Amino acid sequence: MKGLGVNYYSWESAREALRVHFASFVPLHVITLTPEMCVRMADDPDFNRLVRNAGMVIADGIGVVWGETRISHRKPKKIPGIELASWALEEVDRIAGRVYLVGSKPEVVKKAAVNIEGDFPRLKVAGFHYGYFSPDEEESIVKEISEKNPHLVLVGMGSPRQERFIAENLSSLKCAVAMGVGGSFDVWSGSIRRAPSCFRTTHTEWLYRIFSQPRERIKRIPSLWRFVVTVIKSPEKFDGN
């Protein structure tokens, strides 16, 4: 299939799908696709299949919007992962549901849990666990999550670890929706700030991040450049064949 694997092209369709899964409790894996993840898709057939098998794949930023449009001639809406996750929290709050958080450092995920419960008083944070755990601990963490039967599991362990954790355990988590959220716990905990709205509305949030986190962001430039070159010169590499 040509393209980057995006399968939800509008806010409306993404929101409606989440509502349906919160009601039915049929598990849904949500992937927020970034250029770095696309580069991994080009290199790693297993990861490519994982992304394409996910129930929902959205274009997290303007780079993926550009790449998907150029390759497949279908233009998706930019749906930032943190904004879709925040909307999902609002919806879980509306139905007085349960959320489980996995990822980041212990103090960060704990603070994120406190702030989320403060912002959404009707939902319950059924539990949380830091993201730096060994493979031997994974089974017990999955068991703990399944016992809480959460509507929403947010996993912030970075890509590809968070996507693999969800894909390998989705049926065992006993949740309605599981979503990789990258560094969103840092935002929800107050550790870092999101870009001001003027950057987000002009699709230049990446520029704000370069200035606010130069060391972290500069390391990503080679991967972003490779994404652009691959989209233009070798788009078939994203097909996973």
188-240 pLDDT, tens digit each: 999 887 666 776 676 666 555 665 666 666 777 889 999 999 999 999 999 87
Predicted pLDDT of residue 212 = 64
Q: What is the mean pLDDT of residues 102-128?
A: 98
169: three-class secondary structure by DSSP: helix
> Whole-number mean pLDDT of the chain?
93
Distance in angstroms (rounded) separating the CA atoms of residues 226 and 232:
10
Predicted pLDDT of residue 239 = 87
Predicted pLDDT of residue 207 = 58
- The 10s digit of each residue's pLDDT in 65-84 is 999 999 999 999 999 999 99
Structure token digits, residue 112: 């994120």
Q: Is a pLDDT exceeding 80 seen at residue 143?
A: yes
Q: Is a pLDDT exceeding 80 seen at residue 165?
A: yes
Predicted pLDDT of residue 191 = 85
Q: Is a pLDDT exceeding 80 seen at residue 151?
A: yes
In Å, what is the CA distance from 91 to each residue of 15, 117, 118, 128, 154? 9, 13, 15, 19, 14
42: three-class secondary structure by DSSP: helix
Predicted pLDDT of residue 206 = 59
Predicted pLDDT of residue 217 = 65
Higher pLDDT: 215 or 15? It is 15
Q: 27, 177 in Cβ contact below 8 A? A: yes
Distance in angstroms (rounded) separating the CA atoms of residues 56 and 179:
9
Least confident of 85-89, 148-152, 221-225: 221-225
